[in-house]
Structure 1
Amino acid sequence: MSRNPRNQIYPANEDLPTPGGSGLLVRLWRIRTELLLAAGLGLFTLTLLGATQEGRWLPFVLLTSAISVPAATRTGRNWVVAHFWCVVSRHRLQRVCLETTMHTRAGRIPLVLWITPTATGEKALILSRAGICAEEFEAYSEEIAAACWARSACVYRHRKRAQFLIVEIVRRDETPGATSPGLDRLYGRRAWMSLRPDLEEPPDLRAERVLPRVG
């Protein structure tokens, strides 16, 4: 028996189209990070080949130093690891939508517009499709946490624009470093509401109210 009525929004005897039927631009947007990394690697390779063929090693040394020096520091490594998990979580969120009923009858899944690292994991801004709402993401929160290899997942809905929602993935205790500005700051701290009675507002805002501001 389903844990929540929203977990099964389609009739059991209905044949649905294969999920993932999206346009070319949407598919390219989903792999934008991989495309940028491939472009950067290609540029690095061309620069290396050109420098070695012409006997000019200064551009190669400068380029490798710009890459290796940040990677040798703890802050640089934390930044790389945090954004690696952002890419992983984005793909896992998309996979959850494909494997569950969080897609339209045409097979389209919600768009992960942006995802940033936090002190406890990642936070994703999602644009839902017609027929999908934030409450459905909340119903699948345990599936989302399991798919992202995390502890838990919390869903926050925009107070004025129901098509926007935030999925906060919690995978560890709060640790400083390797974090980006929270999506609640970029789009307004008070613009989001939790779908759980025990979480009336995002944790960042609650902590700000409890701790006095210094300076």
Structure 2
Amino acid sequence: MLSKSSGKGLFGGKTHGTITVIDGRFHRSSARNAKVAFYLTGIIVGLLVAAVATDRMHPIAALFVGALVGIPVGAVVWTVVRIWPILRLIWWWLPEIVLSTGAIYGWTILAMATSPAVMVAVLAVVLGVPAAVRPVRQRITALAWCLIVRHRLRTCFAQFITANRSGSLPLIGIAYPTPIGERVTIWLRPGLSIKDLESRLDKLAVGCSAATVTVEKASETNAARVRLDIKRRQVLTGDVASPLVDLVPDPTGDNAEKGTDGLRTLVAVPTALDLPDVIKPATPVDNGKANGHKPNGNGRRSTSTNGGDATTNGSAISSANGVDDVADWI
């Protein structure tokens, strides 16, 4: 957090303003973590060095050697942890820093090595080709949105998705363009989960100036790694010619079926099943008898009527106690 004060304002008065570069909670958390890291690193490294040095010198002298090594190493770790907020800020603006540095140095080298006419020609090509060629212009626009969306996501996380006490933001990876927008990989901090993002997808879409935003896991083994898809347009809206049209016969061709009037004869498309044309399947016979028929001694089947057994000549044979006579089956 930096304070900025100017001498006079627009109407002659002094103005006082505050420009927030690093969040206050994250700044205090970084200071506390740096102090803890310094002591832990210094003590651990000092004891390890002293334990190794006791083989070559007196233990008290080994402790001094351990302290001489542990304190500088702890100071290095303290510095890294302390400036970590600045390193994160540099990471957020790393693409812009690289592009700006490359453009400035490239223009300076070009100015020193060529004439003004060549510089104007190069500038015209660099600016004119994207303006004239549509694919190049679309590609540059997509890359520009990739740079913008990282900062928009960082703003959204800082405004309404910060869920831990220290106020640390998720680590936003490199964004790359897709046919429908952009895709960004994010590493969540402790205190956040994919459910927190799913409940605020509408706000993320507004913050990124997109139509919709979807989120899904980017790793099956790490729940902290998620993938955001920022959708700005639909790509499945155009008409696609179907190859099936070429398979339909041409009614005006030489092979078209024509009637007496010279027009093509249209065949009626069946809409229902014609049951009279279906062959009725034969009734299966189970062990030589079906539907109450039994074979007689001549190899013919007898018909049962009125609860009794009938032979082929129509005479009825009664069964005693409802049990079939074995002689009827021989």
The verdict on a shared fold, with TM-score over 0.5 as the criterion, is yes
Secondary structure at the residue paired with 1:46? helix
After superposition, residues 118-129 of structure 1 pair within 5 angstroms as: 118-129=178-189
Residue in structure 2 matched with residue 98 of structure 1 by the alignment: 158
Asked whether the 8 Å contact 1:113–1:125 carries over to 2, the reply is yes
Q: 1: CA distance between counterparts of 2:161 and 2:133?
A: 43
The offset of 1:102, in angstroms, is 2.6
Cα RMSD over matched residues?
A: 2.6
Cα separation, 2, equivalents of 1:19 and 1:74: 46
Aligned residue number for residue 144 of structure 1: 204
Map 1:17-166; keep pairs closer than 5 Å.
Answer: 18=24, 21=27, 23-51=85-113, 55=115, 60=119, 64=123, 67-68=126-127, 70-71=129-130, 72-157=132-217, 158-166=219-227
| In 1: Cα distance, 2:26 partner to 2:155 partner | 10
Residue in structure 2 matched with residue 167 of structure 1 by the alignment: 228
Q: Aligned in 2, Cα 1:103/1:83: closer, same or farther, shift over 3 Å?
A: farther
% same residue:
25
> Offset at 1:35?
0.3
How far apart are 1:107 and its partner, in Å? 1.7
User: Matches of 1:103 and 1:153 in 2, distance apart?
Assistant: 20
Partner Cα separation in structure 2 for residue 145 and residue 46 of structure 1: 40
SS at match of 1:23: helix
Summarize the Cα distance change of 1:66–1:36 in structure 2 as closer, same or farther, 3 Å threshold.
farther
User: TM-score, length-normalised on structure 1?
Assistant: 0.64
CA distance in 2, matches of 1:40, 1:151: 34
Mapped contact 1:70–1:76 kept (Cα < 8 A): yes
Distance 1:69 1:99, change over 3 A: same
Q: Which amino acid aligns with 1:122?
A: E
Task: Extract unaligned runs of 5+ from structure 2.
Answer: 1-22, 28-83, 237-330
- Give the Cα–Cα distance (whole angstroms) in 2 for the partners of residues 62 and 47 of structure 1: 15
Higher relative contact order (CA 8 A, sep 6+): 1
Q: Which amino acid aligns with 1:42?
A: I
Q: Could you tell me how far 1:39 is from its partner in structure 2?
A: 0.7
The 4+ residue runs of structure 1 with deviation greater than 2 A are: 17-22, 55-58, 60-70, 101-104
* SS of corresponding position for 2:161: coil
CA offsets, 1:70-89, max 9 Å, x none? 52422211111001111111
Deviation at 1:111, TM superposition (A): 1.1
Q: Max radius of gyration: which structure?
A: 2
1:126 Cα offset (Å): 0.4
Contact 1:123-1:168 within 8 A present in 2 as well:
yes
Unaligned stretches of 5+ in structure 1? 1-16, 176-215
Q: How many residue pairs end up in the alignment? A: 157
TM-score, normalized by length of structure 2? 0.43
Q: Give 1:163's aligned amino acid.
A: A
Q: 1:20 to 1:154 in 2, by over 3 A?
A: farther
Secondary structure of the 2:102 match is helix
Deviation at residue 117 of structure 1 after TM alignment? 0.8
